[in-house]
Structure 1
Amino acid sequence: MARRRMLFRSSHSTMIEIFSSTRLRALATVVSIAFASTTVAAQQSGSTNPPPGPADQPGPVIQLSLGDAARLAARQSAVALGARLRADEAQARVRERRADLLPNLSSYVQEAGRTFNTSTLGIDFPATPGNPPLFDPKGQVEGPVNTLDVRGRIEQNLLDFGAIGRVRQAQAQARSSNAEADATAEQAATVATNAYVRAMRADADLRARQADTLLATDLLRIAQSQLQAGTGVGLDVTRARAQLAATRAALIASRNGRDHAHLDLLRSLALPLGTDVALTDSLSPAATGEAIPDEATLVAQALRNRPDLIAEEQRIQAAKQGLSAIKAERLPSLGLVADDGVIGKNGAKMLNTYTWGLQVTLPIFDGFKREARVQEQQSVVKEAEIRRRDLEQQAQVDVRGALLDIANTREQVDAAAERLRLAEQEVTQARDRFNAGVAGNADVVNASLALTASRTLVNDAETAYQLARVSLARAIGSVTTIR
């Protein structure tokens, strides 16, 4: 009996020495495994994939925070640039409408010749007594008459209420387009911030899977050392190898998910796909302690600052201006037309001539076409007002929903952190029992699985909290100022 106790103490001390030396080799083993898998994958894909294109070439490393991603997407994403160009188009239409109120100047030079039938003059030339008629009473061809005409022409609307209304409508539409561009930029920023959060989630998941692999490798080394010392069994080694294989598979999948998340982030930022982006923010539990204003303040801010609400209000104003412009077409308009130049026969003797006139136009009846346009525009105004009321209600729902999500995810983060602490404690206790030789590694494997689930739960909770922050910023119209 004493011999068996001495053998157990000797084997246990040997196992501890092997364990202390092999723990240092565990991290190197994990790194070599990851490097080998990456090298093999690169060799396999190198023979089948085409050479990288210009968009796949390595680019400079960009240090990017969550707020930087929002502002970058709002500034250079495809949808934001397209919306800004549409705003420029609307501004150009303002200048187009304003041209109706400015002078229209033109000039021309005309050299022409014609013949005519004297019977079509509309004037009879009676013959004097004793003389033949000046022209054949049945008509005769005279000419050609060659003329050279050089002159300038001006047309000016002196007073046109309809044109003035159309200019104001175009200006309101330009303001609406600018507001829509801001709303589109806010949407692009929301997409980018969500992609950034998913990229942070993928990075955190990869770190968690690397930690799982390190723990599984450590467990395998302990099982092998105990088997060599005669204090372990082969089942523990097999179980440890199975656990390591499972964690390696999860690590490979996590690395692939991380790469996809970063591609999505680059796409949302309109950056070259070869750009190396370093995320300066992380899924930090400390962020859950920031102060959140009360609901009434946030709702008022949303109704005041949301770009989509501002854009809808501008659309209402543009529709009302269009209605006023149509009604103004019923009023009389005053215009000036004048030309001045020289005219002569074959350029031999050029004499100055001119024409001018004032024209007053008063619409009387157009088949009720204008009344139909008024009715149509009134419906456009009412439709825009309905959309605005709906957006105001949606803004309130978004704010309250985001506040509920933030409160809920804060509690989730705290609960997940507590579960992670207990899971780490469980792994430590199970491994101590396994190291002491009083239990197999089944408890360690089970505790490791619980630790993996706890790490995933923490990442999910922190991701949900960050997404709730983005949702609140979107609800109040401040995504581009998020930090």
Structure 2
Amino acid sequence: MGMQRAFALSAGLSLALQLALSGCTGKAVRQAPTEWRAASRRWEQSPDKERGCINGSLPDGTSGEKGAIQPVQHVEAAQHEELPPPAAERQQPELDLMKTIQLAFISNPDLQSARERIRIADGLLASARAEFYPKLGFNETFNETNTPANAFMFLLNQARFSFNRNFNHPGFIDNFLTQGALNQNLYAGGLRRARQQAAEAQRNADAHALATVQNELVFHVAEAYYRLLQAQKLVEVRQDAVEQVRRHLQSVQVRFRANTAVKSDVLSVEVRLAEVQGELITAQNQLELAWAVLENVIGARLPRVKLPHEVPPAPWSDRCEAVESAVAEALQQRPEVAEMNSKRRAAEANIEAARAGKRPTVDLMGTYNVWTPNFVQGTNNLFAGLAVSLNLFDGGRTRSAIQTAQARVAELAARQQRLLLDIELDVRRAYLQLANAQAQLQVANQAIAQAEESLRETEVRYRAQTTTLTRLIDAQVALVSVRVRRATAQADVEIARANLERAVGRVTRLFNKESPSCGIPSVLQHPTSAPST
């Protein structure tokens, strides 16, 4: 053991002498003796027993610059080898677009509001259909009186009338009246049927409005999702830029210490490092904001799960069609078109409801009465009647109601025409935006390789002292700019595709196939019609 310690100490002293003779800085040599002894033991036990000064580093990886501890070349290369991710990270699920949209279908408050409007329409439709059915009622009344007229009526209805009673002073008379009533409208001039048709059409309009909200929601979720991936990619680009500038700064500092660079070069790179660090902070904040935007669109908090490294294509990304066919499909499939058609049918039904004010109404009524003073004595009777009513003059109210309903139909017809024009423009704009985004992505992909090669050549020339630091910084800035443009273009392409699907009105059908609870076919079915009266 003593011989081994002596050999290690001798090796350490020999190494220190070699470092001093090789020109390595001596600051690390003046470290504590315990560090030297530990370094010597590790060096003697290493399999290759490398000796000497390797790039200004000691055998244990201690750099000769400013006493910093840095790995030697072969250790540094081993550390830069890509290791497999931990098992927990490999098993962590990625944020998926389809599941995100399905979560939005459950949590989004706008969608919940649209569903509640359908429930309101269901209630109005049920109320309109109830007008075709009779009304039955029950009533129980108790009276006590000594008024001669009322006492005479109670005794007569109870079948207890007698001429022996003094009706000027009848005393107190009790009366219980148990009554059942029936009312049935037989004819209302078409009012009930028109109101039912209007309620059915309005319910369908609200159902199509739900599909419209779904269509818009899918697009907004997809947009927020791809903006989140874009923000993540920009953070990666900014992090790479920071590391790149740090390497440039180390290179310039080495040249400055070797008196082959001036102090202004070091300061320029330090300024550039501060710039890219600020851009990294901004990108990180934008990433957090992108998470918040996605949560806002979904209507629920999201766990910070792993994001896809590359921008994944959406389910509709493989579609490719001519703009004219897309326009024709949109004019047939957009839920806004069906919603406007339903509203127009409801308005036309309201015209018939207003015209019913000029027609007579026929009502059937009947009652069954039980008159008794004590639920032991008494009698019962029936009453039935038929009532016919006709409005002869109402000061123009019916005529004004008809004109208002007709104007409403004309207004909806004009709005429908405007809607069709807007849909066509929407599709053409979305189609052109997709074409532009695809072209921008193609240009960015071509420029990225050129910018990377330009930076590599500039770095080589700068190390060879055949170009200026300004050229090196410009090349680095150009590469970062191209990477940012590519990340933006990748997100823009998928967002433009989602926008085209929204403009055509196809996205909700994709999710209706997978999740019937999110669909609308059931709420678009017309209920069984009641009798036409």
TM-score under structure 1 length normalisation: 0.79
CA contact (8 A) 1:119 1:140 kept: no
d(CA) in 2 for partners of 1:24 and 1:391? 68
Q: Is 1:72 aligned to 2:98, yes or no?
A: no
| Partner-residue secondary structure (3-state), 2:146 | strand
Which of 183, 199, 212 is the equivalent residue of 2:212?
Answer: 183
Tell me the equivalent position of 2:196: 167
Distance change >3 Å, CA 99–CA 482, structure 1 → 2: closer
Q: Is 1:93 aligned to 2:124, yes or no?
A: yes
Q: Which amino acid aligns with 1:90?
A: A
What displacement does 1:164 show? 2.2
Q: Which amino acid aligns with 1:321?
A: A
What displacement does 1:222 show? 2.0
Q: Which amino acid aligns with 1:211?
A: D
What displacement does 1:473 show? 1.4
d(CA) in 2 for partners of 1:95 and 1:240? 75
Tell me the equivalent position of 1:316: 344
Moved more, 410-419 or 257-266: 410-419
Distance change >3 Å, CA 27–CA 465, structure 1 → 2: farther
* 1:251-297 alpha-carbon deviations (Å, 9 max, x no partner): 1111011111111111111112x622444484479999945211222
CA contact (8 A) 2:317 2:497 kept: no
Tell me the equivalent position of 1:453: 481
Tell me the equivalent position of 1:344: 372
Tell me the equivalent position of 1:442: 470
CA contact (8 A) 1:109 1:150 kept: yes
| Partner-residue secondary structure (3-state), 2:131 | helix
* 1:188-215 alpha-carbon deviations (Å, 9 max, x no partner): 3332222222212211111111111121
Q: Which amino acid aligns with 2:199?
A: A
Q: Is 1:214 aligned to 2:246, yes or no?
A: no
Q: Which amino acid aligns with 2:285?
A: N
d(CA) in 1 for partners of 2:134 and 2:77? 85
* 1:203-244 alpha-carbon deviations (Å, 9 max, x no partner): 111111111112112212222333445544444333332222
d(CA) in 1 for partners of 2:328 and 2:173? 79
Which of 114, 118, 123 is the equivalent residue of 1:83?
Answer: 114
d(CA) in 2 for partners of 1:287 and 1:178? 25
Q: Is 1:408 aligned to 2:468, yes or no?
A: no
Tell me the equivalent position of 1:237: 266
Tell me the equivalent position of 1:477: 505
d(CA) in 2 for partners of 1:150 and 1:100? 26
Once the two structures are superposed, the pairs formed by residues 136-285 of structure 1 within 5 Å of their partners are 140=168, 142-160=170-188, 161-229=190-258, 231-272=260-301, 275-280=303-308, 282-283=310-311
Distance change >3 Å, CA 345–CA 380, structure 1 → 2: same
Tell me the equivalent position of 1:360: 388
Tell me the equivalent position of 2:522: none
CA contact (8 A) 1:73 1:269 kept: yes
Tell me the equivalent position of 2:83: none
Gaps spanning 5+ residues in structure 1: where?
A: 1-9, 30-59, 122-132
d(CA) in 1 for partners of 2:449 and 2:510? 31
TM-score under structure 2 length normalisation: 0.72
Tell me the equivalent position of 2:15: none
Which of the two has greater strand per residue?
1
d(CA) in 2 for partners of 1:28 and 1:252? 27
Q: Which amino acid aligns with 1:104?
A: K
d(CA) in 1 for partners of 2:465 and 2:330? 63
Distance change >3 Å, CA 288–CA 247, structure 1 → 2: farther
* 1:25-83 alpha-carbon deviations (Å, 9 max, x no partner): 69999xxxxxxxxxxxxxxxxxxxxxxxxxxxxxx977433344344334431111011
Tell me the equivalent position of 1:38: none
CA contact (8 A) 2:461 2:467 kept: yes
CA contact (8 A) 1:219 1:240 kept: yes
Moved more, 153-162 or 84-93: 153-162
Gaps spanning 5+ residues in structure 2: where?
A: 1-23, 25-52, 58-62, 64-69, 81-90, 153-162, 512-533
* 1:312-355 alpha-carbon deviations (Å, 9 max, x no partner): 11111111111122223433333221121321234341212111
What displacement does 1:408 show? 1.8
Instruction: Give the fraction of aligned pairs with identical amino acids, expressed as a percent.
Output: 23
d(CA) in 2 for partners of 1:25 and 1:356? 105
Distance change >3 Å, CA 323–CA 61, structure 1 → 2: farther
CA contact (8 A) 2:326 2:504 kept: yes
Tell me the equivalent position of 1:370: 398
d(CA) in 2 for partners of 1:400 and 1:119? 81
Q: Which amino acid aligns with 2:427?
A: V
| Partner-residue secondary structure (3-state), 2:358 | coil
Q: Is 1:430 aligned to 2:458, yes or no?
A: yes
Q: How many residues align structurally?
A: 429
CA contact (8 A) 1:284 1:462 kept: no
